[in-house]
Amino acid sequence: MLGKASEDGEQVSVKEAIGYSAVAVALCFALAYPGASFIRELIGQKGLALSPVIALLVVWPVAAVLMYAEAWVQSQSWWNGFKKVWSWGLGILLCGVPLVTALTIPCPIGEGWPGGLPTVVAACPIVILFAFLVARRRWRERKRG
């Protein structure tokens, strides 16, 4: 998977790379987007930035290509020296892009919203995901016992 050394150096299929990268991009976006929105509000910018959502359309294919090539990269003799660069590059790609695009080219919507509402809206996906995971776990526990 992205940034994690594969133990047997197995190559993921194109379908797996697309799926895993979609999950990784969505999770990193959901974690970075509320912070970007909060920083925008702190510096006095109004509204919810739409540009990070648009940037995901570019980041996702790049992440899929990186995931597909990762097993090959890890099998190279120079991998141990390159491991830190790979990890930082993935971090910047997956978490830095929402932050940078939100601050530099925001394409804001809802500029008339009251203060704090854009950050609350940006935080909703991660809160919903957390609630879903908790509810699913409890449902499975009740189903078992």
d(CA 104, CA 106): 6
Please measure the distance between the N-terminal and C-terminal CA atoms of the chain and give it in whole angstroms. 33
Three-class secondary structure assignment of 50-87: CHHHHHHHHHHHHHHHHHHHHHHHHCCCCHHHHHHHHH
Predicted confidence at residue 10, as pLDDT, reads: 74
φ/ψ of 138, rounded to 5, equals -65, -40
d(CA 107, CA 52): 9
The string over 30-63, giving b where at least 16 C-beta atoms fall within 10 Å of a residue's C-beta and e elsewhere, is: bbbbbbbbeebbeeebebbbbbbbebbeebbeeb
Q: pTM of this prediction?
A: 0.75
Predicted confidence at residue 62, as pLDDT, reads: 94
Q: Are β-strands 108-109 and 48-49 bridged in parallel, bridged antiparallel, or unpaired? A: antiparallel
Predicted confidence at residue 41, as pLDDT, reads: 92
Torsion of CA 74, 77, 81, 86, to 10 degrees: -30
- For 48-90, write each residue's pLDDT tens digit: 999 988 888 899 999 999 999 998 999 999 999 999 999 999 9
Contact 99, 35 (CB under 8 A): yes
- For 91-144, write each residue's pLDDT tens digit: 999 989 888 998 899 899 989 999 899 999 999 988 998 999 999 999 999 988
Predicted confidence at residue 30, as pLDDT, reads: 87
Find where tokens 């699913």 sit. Answer: 136
Predicted confidence at residue 8, as pLDDT, reads: 52
Find where tokens 């449902």 sit. Answer: 139
